Amino acid sequence: MLKRIRQTVRVILNALDCPEGEISILIVDDSRIEELNRQYLQRRGPTNVIAFAMRDGEFSHVSPQLLGDVVVSMDTAAREAANAGISPETRFDELLVHGILHLFGYDHETSDQDARAMEKKSQELLKVIERLK
């Protein structure tokens, strides 16, 4: 599984013209992502993915290839996969793409136009990933 995740991340970063980019991925359960959601985003309850971008801020120039962290709740991903009738791996890939796009500044909460742009880019990247399989 780890090898597949690394390969998927590499494909995503290459497709985003950032082959030297580095990210960390943390796979957690609902209780842990709920803690992170509350602590860093002041939101209640678990969520499926949280991204912590490192490209912004005062010290972003120190290590420009370091893009940030993507945290995925496999509990939520598994539930969402079951509800959608897809595999947990497919849902994980969708969430991974979503989180990585947030690291690149994509946002679906600011406007409908931004949400459409993020969805379009997500679909493009998921097609690239699908060709791997």
What would the pLDDT profile of 41-50 be if each residue is shown by its tens digit?
999 999 999 9
Give the angle 116-85-100 at the CA atoms, nearest 5°: 40
Question: Cβ–Cβ contacts within 10 Å for residue 41, how many?
Answer: 11
CATH code of domain 2-132: 3.40.390.30
pLDDT digits 0-9 by tens, 56-68: 767 666 777 899 9
pTM to 2 decimals?
Answer: 0.93
